[in-house]
């Protein structure tokens, strides 16, 4: 976990995204360290486990008193630490699981302190649901942890909000757009105010307007020399077709076939060549180790790509600078 939290930002881009990771890491550790002086149990929404692995190593969490970590969807044991810290998405359905934990401890006569932190923002609906479930009095504090933009690679940032388009376009909930504006403001604190902002689409315009308003409300302007020359905001709603097309990049094809979560892909035993004694194999994908990516891609292609589709795939990728090396490796597997 410690190695994952650092090595993937080693690419040679002009902007040091490791500074952003350190900013997020410090906020996370300070928040967890402030809730209680004793031992803590960290209960994590399963959708946040991979994200946490990109931000902080377990040894740093242990220094802040974290003794045990549990996924939210398991029953907490009676011998869990005296302070329980929840990191969850603002999803009302998850409040039921928190309430089940608290009620289970009450029924067993176990006394614990409970702290709930929403990522990346507090949810009023969730807090009302906690009150409706009758456990608000058991929770000592409710807060938020603004893990907004997460560096997935040396030149890729993501908010990891897979439901944001549905929330904003279908349900009319624009809170994810507000989170996007806050994330960009956070970015400007570290890397300077972006001088040029442009975009396309109604929601992109909405985010741009929030940025203007937030800049005016900001008491002090950043004196940092801007490291970004411009910001382009693109509304997903102006192009709904692209997401349904077949991806024609190395990682895109692997993602379609096996799925990539927080830079990790789990390869089944059937993929050739055999990896790790017939057991599922988890591999990390990032631009810091291109040779490693080639090896994983070849293993995946050998087990999943039909010949016709593979030929089109290779033609599409022929412009990439290291595709010749891939051709040479594939030739040894019988796909030349």
SS3 53: helix
pLDDT by residue, tens only, the chain of 336 residues: 444 444 445 444 567 888 888 889 999 999 999 988 889 999 999 989 888 888 888 889 999 999 999 999 999 988 899 999 999 999 999 999 999 999 999 999 999 999 999 998 888 899 999 999 999 999 999 999 988 888 888 788 888 888 888 888 888 888 889 989 999 998 888 888 899 999 999 999 999 999 999 988 876 666 678 888 899 999 988 888 888 887 777 777 778 777 888 878 777 766 654 445 556 667 777 766 666 666 666 666 665 555 445 545 554 544 444 444 443 333 333 333
Strands, E assignment, 72-206: 83-88, 113-118, 139-144, 150-153, 156-158, 196-200
Task: Dihedral sign for Cα 232, 55, 263, 259, please.
Answer: negative
Pairing of strands 156-158, 150-153: antiparallel
- Of 157, 225, 231, the residue nearest 192 (C-alpha): 225
Give phi and psi for 117, each to the nearest 5: -125, 125
Contact 135, 99 (CB under 8 A): yes
Q: Return the pLDDT at 55.
A: 87
CB contact burial 120-142 (16+ within 10 A = b; e otherwise)? bbbbeebbebbeebebbebbeeb
Q: Return the pLDDT at 292.
A: 65
Q: How far apart are the first and last CA of the chain?
A: 38
Strands, E assignment, 59-209: 66-71, 83-88, 113-118, 139-144, 150-153, 156-158, 196-200
Q: Return the pLDDT at 244.
A: 81
Q: Return the pLDDT at 225.
A: 81
Q: Return the pLDDT at 257.
A: 77
Q: Return the pLDDT at 263.
A: 79
Q: Return the pLDDT at 20.
A: 87
Q: Find the largest Cα–Cα distance for the chain.
A: 67
């Amino acid at each position: 976990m410690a190695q994952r939290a650092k090595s993937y930002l080693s690419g040679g881009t002009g902007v040091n995204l490791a500074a952003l990771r350190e900013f997020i890491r410090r906020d996370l550790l300070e928040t967890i360290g402030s809730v209680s002086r004793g031992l803590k149990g960290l209960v994590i929404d399963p959708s946040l486990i991979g994200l946490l692995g990109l931000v902080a190593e377990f040894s740093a969490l242990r220094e802040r008193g974290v003794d045990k970590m549990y996924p939210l969807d398991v029953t907490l044991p009676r011998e869990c630490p005296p302070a329980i810290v929840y990191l969850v998405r603002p999803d009302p359905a998850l409040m039921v699981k928190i309430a089940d934990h608290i009620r289970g401890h009450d029924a067993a006569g176990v006394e614990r302190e409970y702290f709930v932190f929403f990522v990346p923002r507090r949810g009023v609906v969730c807090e009302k649901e906690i009150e409706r479930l009758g456990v608000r009095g058991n929770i000592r504090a409710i807060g938020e942890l603004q893990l907004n933009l997460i560096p997935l690679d040396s030149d890729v940032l993501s908010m990891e909000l897979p439901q944001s388009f549905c929330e904003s376009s279908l349900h009319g909930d624009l809170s994810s757009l507000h989170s996007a504006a806050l994330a960009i403001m956070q970015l400007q604190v570290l890397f300077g105010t972006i001088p040029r902002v442009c975009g396309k689409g109604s929601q992109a315009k909405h985010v741009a307007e929030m940025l203007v308003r937030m800049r005016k409300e900001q008491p002090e302007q950043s004196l940092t020399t801007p490291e970004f020359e411009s910001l382009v905001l693109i509304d997903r709603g102006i192009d709904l077709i692209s997401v349904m097309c077949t991806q024609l990049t190395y990682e895109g094809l692997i993602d379609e076939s096996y799925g990539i979560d927080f830079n990790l892909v789990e390869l089944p035993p059937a993929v050739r060549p055999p990896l790790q004694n017939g057991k599922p194999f988890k591999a990390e994908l990032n631009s810091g180790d291109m040779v490693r990516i080639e090896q994983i891609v070849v293993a995946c292609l050998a087990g999943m790509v039909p010949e016709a589709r593979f030929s089109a795939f290779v033609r599409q990728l022929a412009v990439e600078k290291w595709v010749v090396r891939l051709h040479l490796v594939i030739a040894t597997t019988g796909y030349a």
